[in-house]
Structure 1
Amino acid sequence: MSAGLVVLGATGDLSARYVLPGLARIEALVDGGLRVVGVANDDLDDDGFRRLVHEKVARHAGGEPAAEVTALVDRVTWVRGDVTEPATLQRALGACEVGDADPLVLYLALPHVLFLPVVRALRDVDLPDGLRVVVEKPFGEDLAGAAELNAALGDLLPEEQIFRVDHFLAKQTVLNLLGLRFANRILEPLWSSTHVASVDIVFDETVDAQGRASYYDRSGALRDMVQNHLLQLLTYVAMEPPTTVAPADLAARKADVLRAVRPLDREGVARWTRRGRYTAGEVAGRHVDAYADAPGVDPARATETYAEVTLHVDTWRWSGVPFRLRTGKALAADRREIVVRFRDVPLRVFDGPAPVRNELRLQLDPDRMSLDLNVNGIDDPFRLETVTLDTELARQDPTPYGQLLLAVIDGDTRLSARAAEAEEGWRIVEPVLAAWADGAVPLEEYAAGSDGPRRR
């Protein structure tokens, strides 16, 4: 059995950096191999597209075996045309030569403003049975847009054939949250407000906006990272135990978490959120210009490159526990982790400094897990020291995008978001965006290479 993928926007940055390298990584794992059709309005033919695929995979796949790259390149074809025209989409689907029983995937590796026009154009296309449609983030620009896109997709295909993908959900550490919580008797009984003081979900980056500044200026950190990626991580941390790990059971528990997030009014936004924008500075010995001076940026938009939002999940399990979601660009260090901070012990029985809070850290890329514990000291056995139990998790193979693509080919929706999740994410962030636009929270500045806006 082979699999076919029609990649709309096949010459774009998303395709070059992630989709095509991901396909090369899984080529040998798909029985019968992959058939890939690239679609865009570039002046290419089959040979030109094959050269482009070889170049992009060689640059971004990180040493993929030559045989697998060659196998992928040999099976790609090109369709030139406007991806919002039904005739182009019909030709592209027809050019993907797979059997009637083989999976066929339409991958929208496009700017999000084209999602709805493409989906509407598909209404005038003779769609093959079982077609799977993949939509990248951001899913809409607001709640109304997400609901409109969901409705258009729902009129076209059943929910189990729609993949609103998020490669964060394919990361090893994120998946390990399920096993860590629901397969260990020792941990899940502590996983509640009775024992947990706070949770941080952090994705700090040293990388600046770079060549994405013109896109990023219409998005910002809250839309680009918090609304989808970090809220998805929140669902895994805070969900109730599912009956099984089947797609429908996991999706239901994730949606429950998002529905339980307390909405922020203007006063809550002022109290529980921060936003910032980097100025010129130095990151890892490299000079970084101010974000406002980057090509394609309109400083008057006041787009944030740093966003911090503290949310509360109003459930029996999590009442009173703050969940702090934070992300920023051009910061001093890459810090990508989930930190579960446990409460203090109820009574101090040792002299000297107070015991540190136990912290469980789940680091993303590289994947690590560590736990801080207090033990008796070596020099004085009745004074405390802290030790860290630390383990590096096995490196993922294939990479998250490879895992994601395999899941789509297999028809497994667990690495994507369902319609309700996409809309609930916008319900949570829209009041923040509106209050920020209205000046409820000042846009703070921080130097590139710093730790972000100064702590209050």
Structure 2
Amino acid sequence: MQTDSNFTFVLFGGTGDLSMRKILPALYEAHRAGMLEASGKIIAVARHEEDRGGYLQWVNEHVKAHVSKSGIDENAWSSFLERIEYVKLDLGKAEDFVKLRDAMQELPGTRVFYLATGPSLFVPICRALASVGLNENARIVLEKPLGYDLRSSNAINDAVGEIFAEGQIYRIDHYLGKEPVQNLLALRFGNALFEPLWRREWVESIQITIAEELGVEARGDFYDNTGALRDMVQNHLLQLLSIVAMEPPHSMDSDSVRDEKLRVLRALKPIDPRDISKVAVRGQYHAGVIRGTSVPAYATEPGVKTDSATETFVALKVEIENWRWAGVPFFLRTGKRLADRVAEIVVNFRAVPHSALGSSSLRPGANRLVIRLQPNETIRLYCLAKKPGEGMNLSSVHLDLAFDQFFKEGQMEAYQRLLLDVIHGRLALFVRRDEQEAAWKWVEPILNEWAASGKPKPYAAGTWGPAAASAMLAQHDTCWLEEEN
């Protein structure tokens, strides 16, 4: 599907890990599928002393391994490389931005500036772009983390907002681009089946989990000053929560969707610092074994302080104070070095009030919806059915929507979808400033309390985190999904 949206895509941090693993592979997939305007250009920007030929060799060596399972189409790859230019740029030299402006002068269409850099560089880059007039007819994409707390987040947003209008700023959260998240919206708002059940009268609890087998890898310096609450909860988990819990929007335009998400974030019950120990669990992984391989403790990872109190695991009980969700607990969980790599949303419906079929139909979780975001993107609806044979014996069965089996078209990766949305000027799947502020305001009391208290609870790598996370759910007569199975 050819588009008519001409563009110049400028990639700051063009030699970085994110560019190699996610951004350039996503642009290649869009190019191969014919979704990019033929004359659109990509300009990679970095400090490395390279000419265009040297940079393309770098791309050949580092990007090909990260494209989809279907592999490389050499003809498409060659024509994709023809789109790419390289500009060596030193942020401290104004003349280098003049060089960038000159390189873009003859290129028509919308300018997209993707800042795949650390947040400390966001403001200097934006100011330098404005100094040479490159903030006109432009869109700016900001990667997370956008600040360290509410104050620093506001400082960045204020400075960027002096240069770019809110409608030009795309704060990216790649979880919002995942296919099952889009299908969650379709299931809820495109079908009459689920909406009557999507409320406190019929939902017992909701779990949202983002679990990783990996540790901090080579990001010890960054992670030890960030932690799981800032890295995952403030953005990914609260964004998924707002999608799950939002009211039906007036339309799917950007502000209608984001207005409803904002209402959810503002309805989050504030956490009293005195109650944090009851509704928030933080942990830090110790040495353990994952899939037969021994892995070290977090405190011994490169770049991590040996006495670090940074959390690598967070579990929270969250409540939404509005008419639809009052009294329904939302359990959020994320961690590194856990037993499996999985991201999923579990909607547990209430048990039937009375059954002549036996106690199995009365147990919590007999009816549930499991939306798997990774590694296999599926939606699965669980219900009870009679086992074949004599007697009325019930067993759990499920209905599957496995996207790769049902739809012949290949799934679009999250970054591919989001980059196309930037090029086309669609903001619905990007985070608005007031959403971000509401999320930081809710998270900050936890951050402050943890900063003043002792160390996180230990858990062995390869497990599902501290036992306290399971105990928190047990207080509500429920458990994490993997514990039940």
Contact 1:6 1:93 in 2 (8 A): no
Deviation of the 1:122 alpha carbon: 3.3
Match of 2:44 in 1: 38
Opposite residue 56 of structure 2, the aligned amino acid is R
Match of 1:419 in 2: 433
Contact 1:5 1:96 in 2 (8 A): no
Match of 1:169 in 2: 176
Which residue of 95, 99, 104 maps to 2:103?
95
Residue 432 and residue 84 in structure 1: after superposition, are their counterparts in 2 closer, same or farther (change >3 A)?
farther
Match of 1:392 in 2: 402
Contact 2:12 2:45 in 1 (8 A): yes
CA deviations on 1:93-123 (whole Å, 9 max, x unpaired) are 43136644x1210110001222223233334
Which residue of 233, 241, 244 maps to 2:248?
241
Contact 1:21 1:56 in 2 (8 A): no
Match of 2:306 in 1: 299
**1:78 maps to 2:91:** no
CA deviations on 1:8-53 (whole Å, 9 max, x unpaired) are 1111111111111111111232122431111121121111111112
Deviation of the 1:309 alpha carbon: 1.6
Which residue of 13, 22, 25 maps to 1:21?
25
Match of 1:360 in 2: 369
Opposite residue 97 of structure 2, the aligned amino acid is L
Map 1:113-262 → 2, pairs under 5 A: 113-127=120-134, 129-262=136-269
Opposite residue 50 of structure 1, the aligned amino acid is L
Match of 2:479 in 1: none
Deviation of the 1:303 alpha carbon: 1.1
Which residue of 59, 63, 66 maps to 1:60?
66
CA deviations on 1:39-88 (whole Å, 9 max, x unpaired) are 12112111111111222221211323222222222222222222355433
Within 1, Cα distance between the matches of 2:180 and 2:388?
Answer: 33
Opposite residue 168 of structure 2, the aligned amino acid is Q
Within 2, Cα distance between the matches of 1:336 and 1:282?
Answer: 21
TM-score by structure 2 length? 0.89
After superposition, the CA RMSD in angstroms is: 1.8
Deviation of the 1:259 alpha carbon: 0.8
Query: 47-56 vs 130-139, which deviates more?
Result: 47-56
Opposite residue 452 of structure 2, the aligned amino acid is D
Structure 2 residue matching 1:417: 3-state secondary structure: coil
Match of 2:353 in 1: 346
Deviation of the 1:251 alpha carbon: 1.0
Contact 1:90 1:125 in 2 (8 A): yes
Query: 264-273 vs 372-381, which deviates more?
Result: 372-381
Structure 2 residue matching 1:414: 3-state secondary structure: coil
Contact 2:142 2:172 in 1 (8 A): yes
Contact 2:288 2:297 in 1 (8 A): yes
CA deviations on 1:139-184 (whole Å, 9 max, x unpaired) are 1111111212222222212222110011111100001111000011
Within 2, Cα distance between the matches of 1:159 and 1:198?
Answer: 35
Structure 1 residue matching 2:188: 3-state secondary structure: helix
**1:372 maps to 2:382:** yes
Which residue of 428, 432, 447 maps to 2:460?
447
Opposite residue 32 of structure 1, the aligned amino acid is A
Structure 2 residue matching 1:300: 3-state secondary structure: coil
Residue 268 and residue 95 in structure 1: after superposition, are their counterparts in 2 closer, same or farther (change >3 A)?
farther
Within 1, Cα distance between the matches of 2:59 and 2:106?
Answer: 20
Deviation of the 1:201 alpha carbon: 0.6
Contact 1:35 1:97 in 2 (8 A): no
Query: 367-376 vs 379-388, which deviates more?
Result: 379-388
Structure 2 residue matching 1:415: 3-state secondary structure: coil
Within 2, Cα distance between the matches of 1:134 and 1:89?
Answer: 18
Deviation of the 1:379 alpha carbon: 3.1
Structure 1 residue matching 2:50: 3-state secondary structure: coil
Match of 2:450 in 1: 436
Structure 2 residue matching 1:416: 3-state secondary structure: coil
Structure 1 residue matching 2:428: 3-state secondary structure: helix
* Runs (5+) with no aligned partner, structure 2: 472-485
Match of 1:310 in 2: 317
Within 1, Cα distance between the matches of 2:452 and 2:183?
Answer: 40
Opposite residue 351 of structure 1, the aligned amino acid is G
Residue 401 and residue 97 in structure 1: after superposition, are their counterparts in 2 closer, same or farther (change >3 A)?
farther
**1:110 maps to 2:117:** yes
Opposite residue 416 of structure 1, the aligned amino acid is F
Deviation of the 1:132 alpha carbon: 0.5
* Runs (5+) with no aligned partner, structure 1: none
CA deviations on 1:189-237 (whole Å, 9 max, x unpaired) are 1101111111111011111211222221121111111111111111110
Identity of aligned residues (%): 38
Contact 1:355 1:374 in 2 (8 A): no
Within 2, Cα distance between the matches of 1:144 and 1:352?
Answer: 53
TM-score by structure 1 length? 0.95
